[in-house]
Structure 1
Amino acid sequence: MKNTNIDITKTEVLSDNWYTLKKVTFKILKKDGTIETQSREAYDRGNGAVILLYNKNLKTVILTRQFRLPTYINGNPDGMLIEACAGLLDNDNPEECIKRETEEETGYKISKVEKVFEAYMSPGSVTEILHFFVAEYSSEMKVNNGGGLADEGENIEVLELSFNDAMAMIDNGEIKDAKTIMLLQYLRLKSIL
């Protein structure tokens, strides 16, 4: 249902290089009854999906490590970030996307995933909504070494960590990725591991 208190009056494309950056001018009806004109920039990179693989018997999780330029620019000394496997939907439904990304990035071929929630990760400036999944894995599901797609510039290291070590890495600052923290906390809250 569209918000009738918002009237978009102008949309300008500022960049359409990697993804699309737009400047949107709109009128908003405020609580006091006045109408105010505002402008905001919104970055549209499409929607995505993220998954945390876990093994109940071993009490382990599969994470990835890769270079993330924005973190490097913002003070991450080596630019490397430990994350749950994720990717853009690329016209797939979220479940098909995350199965594809899991095999590409981690080397595990999974058939059953559980969607746990959806969330906007940076709603002040990015349009993306993420679909969050969890799935059990076992060594028999490993079909390749993972690492991502070279033609997409991916150079991903696959990490198998104990759940306790992963949680400690949140506490000591080694894991700073929001989607990963959310999924690890989900496993803890649901007493899955």
Structure 2
Amino acid sequence: MRIFSSPKFDVIIDKFSLPNGKEVEKAYVKHRGSVVIVPFIDKEKIIMIKQYRPIIGKWLIELPAGTIEEKENEEETARRELEEEIGYKPNFMSKVFSFYVSPGVTTEIMHVYIASDLAKTSQKLEEYEIIEPFEIKLEDAVKMVLDGKIEDGKTMLSLLLISQKYQDLLTHQLI
């Protein structure tokens, strides 16, 4: 049963059969999915954003990201979000991995992309977005994660995994 609908998600209450034969009723957020992008300016530097998040009343350091819109595929979303949030169009994109955001409460799956060979355009922010892009070395961004200066989960996971795959990405000329 649908409890609430919004442009980005629905809140649903449904019954589920468990492997042990029991049935449970759970409320959850049905979500189309989302993307997060690690945009490389060059082989060492990426673009991150400082974004005000009104729901928690804080500025966060994040990677560009967004929700997959209706009739849009993951890569189209990643390309759109890059231009909207940081004002760049990528000439190269590659999906690196995907993960469930919080499977106890939502169906949302997030797809992580790397982008490179960026062409400057201009930001196209939504009216509710306050975003300040900045350049940073990948190794410095990872240090910020390890020092507790980045609190956003998708950004933490993406930076740590991309940094671990960095040499492989270079070898295959993905960045």
Q: Normalising by structure 1, what TM-score?
A: 0.77
State the number of aligned residues.
166
- Structure 1 residue 143 corresponds to structure 2 residue 121: yes
CA contact (8 A) 1:99 1:111 kept: no
Tell me, yes or no, if structure 1 residue 118 matches structure 2 residue 93: no
Pick aligned residue for 1:160 from 135, 149, 160 = 135
SS at match of 2:81: helix
CA distance in 2, matches of 1:37, 1:133: 37
C-alpha displacement at 1:26, in angstroms?
2.6
Give the residue type in structure 1 aligned to 2:29: Y
Whether the 8 Å contact between 1:147 and 1:157 is mirrored in structure 2 is no
Partner of 1:68: 53
Q: Give 5+ residue unaligned stretches, structure 2.
A: 171-175
Aligned ranges 1:95-134 → 2 under 5 Å: 95-134=75-114
- Bigger radius of gyration: 1
Q: Which amino acid aligns with 1:157?
A: E
C-alpha root-mean-square deviation of aligned residues, in Å?
1.9
Q: Is the 8 A contact 2:46 2:138 kept in 1?
A: yes
Instruction: Give secondary structure in 2 for the equivalent of 1:176.
Output: coil
Residues 124-159 of structure 1: CA distance to partner in whole angstroms, max 9, x if unpaired? Answer: 101111111001245xx1112x26222xx1121112
**Does structure 2 retain, via aligned residues, the 8 Å contact 1:147–1:156?**
no
Higher strand share: 2
Q: CA deviation at 1:40?
A: 1.2
Could you say if the C-alpha distance between residues 17 and 116 of structure 1 is closer, same or farther in structure 2, counting changes exceeding 3 Å? closer
Gaps of 5+ in 1: 1-11, 73-77
Aligned with 2:89: secondary structure? Answer: coil
- Aligned equivalents of 1:135 and 1:88: distance in 2? 17
Q: In the alignment, what sits opposite 1:14? A: 3
Question: What's the counterpart of residue 53 of structure 1?
Answer: 39
User: SS at the partner of 1:190?
Assistant: helix
Question: Structure 1 residues 92, 172: CA separation in 2 closer, same or farther (over 3 Å shift)?
Answer: same
Paired residue secondary structure (2:48): strand
3-state SS in 1 of match to 2:91: coil
SS of structure 2 residue aligned to 1:111: strand
Q: 1:187 to 1:55 in 2, by over 3 A?
A: farther
